[in-house]
Amino acid sequence: MSHEITIREDGFAEAAYSMQPAWHGLGTVFDHAMSSSEALTAAGLDWEVRQEDVYRRTDPEIPQEYICLDNIKLNTRSDNDVVLGMVSDHYQVIQNVEAFQFLDALVEEHEMKFESAFSLYGGKKVVLLAQMPGVETIAKDDHILPYILMSLGHDGTESIRFGPVAMRVVCANTYAIANEEKGVSSLSIQHRGNIQEKLDRARGILGLASTQFAQYAEIGSQLAEYKLSKDDWMSYLNIMCPELNPLDPDHTPRRAKKLQETRDEIINCFCNERQQLEGIGKSAWAAYNAVVEHIDHLPRRGATRQRKAEARFNVCLYGAGRDMKERALATACRFAGIETV
């Protein structure tokens, strides 16, 4: 599945990231959390969206005569004249620099720290990911970094999207997954009105985001407090990855061996030092994270390093891998007697 990062004719990729590169290996990588000005420049997003009139021939047989259409405009890039999309005359452009300022203004007396900034599909979509102030703590040395995601659709196909996510968004694939998270896709601002109104609404959204992260952290804390007995752990493992019964019509030595290897890998993850941090060892939280770690770090096939990274990405965030993560959390909550919405 393609990353869809915009790559200019000279090979420059319109993307920038903090601390670590993205799986696709494109873009500029900083050794610190990016400020808005650093992210804007390094990702090459300092171009503007221009609106141009659209004309139509009045008579096919008279090519010199055109009329200007009153109800639509053409959005184009200021740096290369690439057409981004056709929009109504009510559409209000929000420039890339305004989006960065939009997020910066959410933090009183502090500059927002950006995790990633990139454009997709030639600039039709611009995506920003910033780290919100504060860190949610599950237990000692086990923390959740809360992010806020914002995207601009310069092609006129969608509103400004805005909301909390708990994952690092670095490309079209991760952006799509993040927008499916509960709460994010419903937070949107139309491309009309004034920027101050949008900013006022954004402040309320930030408060909602903080609440949602706090709720997730509370679930994590409760899971960390619930200790699993040996029998509990084996029951959890059997639910997540049951052994293959020899009487099963689908039983084959190869399939049974593969399932046993998966069980052993999850057990190893449950017992490793990351899941034995103070306050979470042998807990339902550690059990859940053992399954997640197995899915996220299992070696994947591929002819190149990038192909392997892409294969890992697809398994982690789509299909069976994602479903298994959701099931692992729901199962852990049932063991701990936690009600979830």
DSSP string, 58-72: S-TT-TT-EEEEEEE
Q: Which of these, 227, 226, 220, 209, lies nearest to 138 by C-alpha position?
A: 220
Q: State the Cα torsion 260-264-270-271 to the nearest 10°.
A: 150
Number of neighbours of residue 333 by Cβ within 10 angstroms: 18
Question: How far does Cα 143 stand from its chain's mean position?
Answer: 18
Q: Which of these, 236, 318, 309, 327, lies nearest to 275 by C-alpha position?
A: 236
User: Alpha-carbon distance 279 to 75, whole Å?
Assistant: 53
Q: How many CA atoms lie within 13 A of 164 on its CB side?
A: 22
Name the most confidently modeled range: 15-24, 146-155, 159-168, 207-216. 15-24
- Mean pLDDT for 325-332 is 88
Lowest mean pLDDT among 15-19, 272-276, 308-312, 321-325: 308-312
**312 pLDDT exceeds 50?**
no
When pLDDT is cut at 50, 70 and 90, the band that residue 300 belongs to is very low
User: Alpha-carbon distance 262 to 26, whole Å?
Assistant: 32
Residue bearing tokens 């997954």:
177
The larger pLDDT score, comparing residue 330 to residue 311, is at 330
What is the tens place of the pLDDT at every residue in 217-273? 778 888 888 999 999 999 999 999 888 888 888 888 888 888 888 899 999 989 888
What is the tens place of the pLDDT at every residue in 100-124? 888 887 766 666 789 999 999 999 9
Q: Which of these, 55, 45, 48, lies nearest to 75 by C-alpha position?
A: 48
Query: 16 with 105: CB under 8 angstroms?
Result: no
170, amino acid identity: V
pLDDT at 17: 95
Name the most confidently modeled range: 16-30, 49-63, 102-116, 287-301. 16-30
Question: Any idea where the domains of the chain sit in the sequence?
Answer: 15-48+79-206, 226-336
From residue 54, give the alpha-carbon distance in Å to each of 16, 195, 214, 262, 331: 34, 26, 48, 59, 56
Going by C-beta distance under 8 Å and a sequence separation of 6 or more, which residues neighbour residue 247?
A: none
Q: Which of these, 228, 229, 212, 238, lies nearest to 340 by C-alpha position?
A: 212
Going by C-beta distance under 8 Å and a sequence separation of 6 or more, which residues neighbour residue 12?
A: 44
The larger pLDDT score, comparing residue 218 to residue 194, is at 218
**45 pLDDT exceeds 70?**
yes
From residue 302, give the alpha-carbon distance in Å to each of 81, 170, 292, 299, 322: 37, 20, 21, 10, 20
Going by C-beta distance under 8 Å and a sequence separation of 6 or more, which residues neighbour residue 115?
A: 17, 18, 33, 34, 129, 130, 131, 147, 168, 169
pLDDT at 203: 63
DSSP string, 176-199: HHHHHSTTTTT-EE-S-S-HHHHH
> Tokens representing 242?
């049951």
pLDDT at 15: 95
Q: What are phi and psi of 181, to 5 degrees?
A: -65, 145
User: Alpha-carbon distance 290 to 127, whole Å?
Assistant: 31
